[in-house]
Structure 1
Amino acid sequence: MLETQNLSLRYGRHLALHDISIRIAEGETVVILGANGAGKSSLLKAIAGPAKAEMGSNVLLDSKSILGTKPHLIPEAGIALVPEGRGVFGDLSVEENLLLGANPKRARSGETERNALIYDLFPRLAERKSQLVRTMSGGEQQMVAIGRALMSNPRFLMLDEPSLGLAPIVVTELFNALRRVKETGVGLLLVEQNVSISLSISDRGYLMEAGRIVGENSAEALKTDPAVQQAFLGGAAA
């Protein structure tokens, strides 16, 4: 179980997160829904380590606090983040980016099998192993970013706006791959602007507004919730 307890985060005088408590079980897929500026990306950064949480906050993995763990050690705990903007190494090849993802000690066992899985998930990466990532399309770079994160052998994979700026056909390809990742037992925590497709692969979802959690329900219930329909899905359900 990965969970946050009373997680608060401040940027100067701005309170970006206020007493956020969420949970995600191993193998579960959870989506965070909210408007731009709601604090969704800040939540992922607070869990992954780059953003420093306020006193009284906690992030727990299997009931043990990991708050304050240095960001480069978070993957060793089994948590990987694909940030908004991807964070790939443009002057390295696809294969080199993937190999960097396998750096954590927990990733050494089964590295060959995970590498094969990634090329199976994203066949176009297999065709472009030696290509410099900066010469690839945005969708291909996102595939590299997800593949690199998977190479760390995560128990929980967090993705920040994976479909941002991508063509619909590429978004469909990415989410089909994420469905297969889910089948392997990896827990997924999604922040995603495409509400319909993210709910289609999720088990549960949280609603976030102005740095607070304002609702929680199953993905099926959220699909037909009038407030969610009005805010995110273009009107009331048929």
Structure 2
Amino acid sequence: MLEIETLSLRYGRHLALENVSVKIAEGETVVILGANGAGKSSLLKAIGGLARPVAGSKISLDGQSLLGTPSHKIPETGIALVPEGRGVFGDLTVEENLLLGANPKRARATEAERNALIFDLFPRLAERKRQMVRTMSGGEQQMVAIGRALMSNPKYLMLDEPSLGLAPIVVTELFAALKRVQKTGVALLLVEQNVSISLSIADRGYLLEAGHIVGSDTAEALKTDAAVQQAFLGGTAA
């Protein structure tokens, strides 16, 4: 279980998150819904060790606190982040980016198997494994970013706006791959503007507004919730 309890986060005087509590079980897919500026990315950064929470916050994995763990050691715990903007190394090849993802000790024994899995998920990467990533399309770069994260052998995969700026056909392809990742037992924590497609693969969801959790429910219930429909899906529930 990945547990976030009473998490608060400040950027100077700005309170980005206040008393946020979220739980993700092994193998579960959870989506965080909220408008721009609600604090969704800040939540992922706090879990990933990229932002320091306020004293009294709690982040734990299987009962062990992650607070104070440097960001470069978080992948060793079994948590991987695909950041907004992808964060790929453009002057390296696809193959080199993936090898960097396999750097954690927990990943080395299964490097070959995970590499095969990623090329199965994204055949285009297998075809272009020696291509410089900066010469690839946005969708292909996102595949590299997801593949690199999966190379670390994560139990929990966090994705920050994976569909941002991508064509609808590429978004469909990416989410089809994520459904296959689910079947491997990896839990997903997803921040995504495309609410409809994210709810289609999620088990549960949380509503984040101005740094506060204002609701949570199963994905099926959120799909038909009038407030969610009005705020994110362009209509009202039937």
> In which range does the TM-score fall when normalised by the shorter chain?
over 0.9
Q: Which residue of 2 aligns with 1:162?
A: 162
CA distance in 2, matches of 1:123, 1:182: 18
Map 1:90-105 to 2 at 5 A.
90-105=90-105
Letter in 1 for 2:13: R
Runs of 4 or more above 3 Å deviation: none
Q: 1:38-81 CA distances to partner (integer Å, 9 max, x unpaired)?
A: 00000000000010100000100001101110000000000000
What secondary structure, in the 3-state scheme, does the structure 2 residue paired with 1:189 have?
strand
Is residue 79 of structure 1 aligned with residue 60 of structure 2?
no
What secondary structure, in the 3-state scheme, does the structure 1 residue paired with 2:38 have?
coil
CA distance in 1, matches of 2:47, 2:58: 9
What secondary structure, in the 3-state scheme, does the structure 2 residue paired with 1:84 have?
coil
Map 1:204-215 to 2 at 5 A.
204-215=204-215
Q: Which residue of 2 aligns with 1:118?
A: 118
CA distance in 1, matches of 2:236, 2:96: 47
What secondary structure, in the 3-state scheme, does the structure 1 residue paired with 2:180 have?
helix
Alpha-carbon shift at residue 236 of structure 1 (Å): 1.2
Q: 1:164-223 CA distances to partner (integer Å, 9 max, x unpaired)?
A: 000000000000000000000000000000000000000000000000000000000000
Q: Which residue of 2 aligns with 1:191?
A: 191
CA distance in 2, matches of 1:165, 1:112: 31
CA distance in 1, matches of 2:215, 2:67: 24
Is residue 234 of structure 1 aligned with residue 234 of structure 2?
yes
Map 1:148-159 to 2 at 5 A.
148-159=148-159
Letter in 2 for 1:152: S
Is residue 41 of structure 1 aligned with residue 45 of structure 2?
no
CA distance in 2, matches of 1:218, 1:67: 28
Q: CA RMSD in A?
A: 0.5
Is residue 14 of structure 1 aligned with residue 14 of structure 2?
yes
CA distance in 1, matches of 2:2, 2:200: 22
CA distance in 2, matches of 1:48, 1:3: 13
Stretches of structure 2 lacking an aligned partner (at least 5 in a row): none
Q: Which residue of 2 aligns with 1:220?
A: 220
Q: Which residue of 2 aligns with 1:51?
A: 51
Aligned residues: 238
Alpha-carbon shift at residue 237 of structure 1 (Å): 2.8
What secondary structure, in the 3-state scheme, does the structure 1 residue paired with 2:88 have?
coil
Letter in 1 for 2:60: L
Stretches of structure 1 lacking an aligned partner (at least 5 in a row): none
What secondary structure, in the 3-state scheme, does the structure 2 residue paired with 1:227 have?
helix
